[in-house]
Amino acid sequence: MKKTLLGILSLLFVVFSFSVWASAEPPVMHEQLVYSLTSFNGASFSKSFCPANEETIYFIADQENVISPRKTIVYYWPITRKYMAGFSTLNEEMAGKFEVLQGGKVISTLAKQTYTLYYPKGYWSEKASVYINDSAREYFQKYKAAVDQFNTRLKQYYESMTQYRENFNRFLEEVKKRREAGDNNPLNAPVPKEPQPPEFVEFYATELTEGFIIKLPVGEFEIRLRADDGTIIEGSERKVVVFASRRQGGTGYEIIPGNRWTKKENCDDPSWVIHAVGKNELYFNPYRQDEYNELYHNKLEDPQNVGSIERWKWIHIDPIDNIKVLLTHQQAILQAVDKEPYFVKQIQGAELGYEIIKYDDDLKQKGYKPTFESYKVILDENLPKTDYAISTVQAENAQPVPQSERTLRLLKKDKSLYLYAIPIFPLIVGVFMLLSRKSRMEK
């Protein structure tokens, strides 16, 4: 009976999904002038675009940002509730003079400049700087030369690997011949050494591109694009809000739980409490951080984002190095840990999982790289369930890092089942009222 009911429900779900899909109309697409944005977000650069329905663009004060007016295909995507740009279909550069205004008066007219984004620790590190004109060409050529050199070494590595396999096979054949001849003496010739692949280029630079570099102080401005005939290009006018951080120099934490390492969490405000249950390992990464208005910063990263103008958010700027992370209880230091590299090892079997192990020379010789580096704090299950403190101090003089202390609270599990009564109680009341009403109706 249960299987039959489940089958009927599954069939109804499939039919309903198909009907919704079949009745869904394709999105309406139309050409539109948009602004392609490369905006400094406090730590790196965010790429987004500003469609016509968004009247305001947001930037951080006194920082170089890149803005480029483009004609593209725009359509509304209900799943994300945002307008999407089809740059792969149409990506036409708009010509004209780019004007910046304040109070209705033109304060500057910008010319296009060549730029590149330079990532000193590689693209995935997300830390980048923008370089313009000659500096941009210099950094891009530096990256291109490093890639060419890597490709040359990689070709040599493949050739060396081919030669290594041939030498190793001859070595094995010689050993085999000696054994077949009854000669058990070791071979005097050394075992061929396997060549090591070259290290890939650590840094990265984007392709040279042209755009308007805009850098403004705190305030409200307007921008527009003026055609060669002196008219204002339709759809090019936008407001610009330039803002600054409210507070600077705070300390925030990125926390990686050992039992679910893909679910990173942040503990940025000093008033926040870190909760942990049972035996666990927490990996802490301290950051210097600045505080920005939530709405302004969300709109900076994507003009179609939402947020509250009454709220503030911390943004991680740079990792804090040369420190120790302390676990303390009532002023007593329980652990003082340094940053170490770790490797996430996949566990084979029916239930896929992982294990975080310390990165060592054996893994390095096998060609593996550390998955991440962090400060590991071990929470023993025998620790008393009470409040502890996490803080950081300078490694050389043990001076506390400002605003780095957080409360770490170990929770008890033995009475956690009582918490289920809170969400279940309204359901029980609802069922009781339903049964009572049904009983009255039957009477």
Domain ranges of the chain: 29-134+204-243, 249-289+316-416
Averaged pLDDT, 78-84: 92
CB 407 within 8 A of CB 330: no
Residue 330 has pLDDT above 50, yes or no: yes
Angle (CA) 28 33 37, round 5°? 110
* pLDDT for 160: 95
Tens of pLDDT, residues 103-123: 999 999 999 999 999 999 888
Averaged pLDDT, 163-182: 85
pLDDT band at residue 429 under the 50/70/90 scheme: low
Tell me the CATH number for domain 249-289+316-416. 2.60.40
CA atoms within 13 A on the CB side of 210: 10
Bridge partner residues of 389 (DSSP): 328, 407
Averaged pLDDT, 207-220: 96
Averaged pLDDT, 232-252: 95
Residue 9 has pLDDT above 50, yes or no: no
pLDDT band at residue 12 under the 50/70/90 scheme: very low
* pLDDT for 409: 93
Bridge partner residues of 215 (DSSP): none
Residue 359 has pLDDT above 90, yes or no: yes
Percent of the chain with pLDDT over 90: 65
Phi, psi of 89 (to 5 degrees): -90, -45
CB 359 within 8 A of CB 366: no
pLDDT band at residue 60 under the 50/70/90 scheme: very high
pLDDT band at residue 8 under the 50/70/90 scheme: very low
Region of poorest pLDDT, from 151-165, 173-187, 369-383, 402-416:
173-187
- Please name which of 349, 367, 351 lies closest in space to residue 359, comparing C-alpha atoms: 367
Averaged pLDDT, 263-278: 91
